[in-house]
Amino acid sequence: MTNNNECPARGPKTQMLAFKQRWARVQKAQALELQGLPMPLKFKQLCFLMDSFSLIPKDRKREKETNKIRRRWLALKERSGNGL
């Protein structure tokens, strides 16, 4: 890219393709790295993540939005009649 501030999605097609290819390589490297980790370490990391959830302060706005989404899903479920 000629401009470091330029968004790849707005660039020419070749820049967009190069961007996608770079991220595909990153995803592949991450997958290989994850496959190489021993299961006990993965489990330990998962436990840490689950335990750290309580450290995140509650956000009233997020809670309201979550409840709004739940109500929408319930309404869709009721309208569908088949329980989705």
Three-state SS string over 45-82 comes to HHHHHHHHHHHCCCCHHHHHHHHHHHHHHHHHHHHHCC
Give the pLDDT band of residue 1 (cuts 50, 70, 90).
Answer: very low
Measured in degrees and rounded to the nearest 5, phi and psi for residue 57 equal: -65, 145
- Residue 42 has a pLDDT of 93
Range in 4-8, 18-22, 26-30, 57-61 with the lowest mean pLDDT: 4-8
Residue 15 · residue 8 · CB < 8 Å: yes
Is residue 22 within 8 Å of residue 11, measured between CB atoms? no
Chain segment 32-49, per-residue pLDDT in tens: 999 999 999 999 999 999
In whole angstroms, give the CA distance from residue 60 to residue 52: 19
Question: Measured between alpha carbons, how far apart are the two ends of the chain, in Å?
Answer: 46
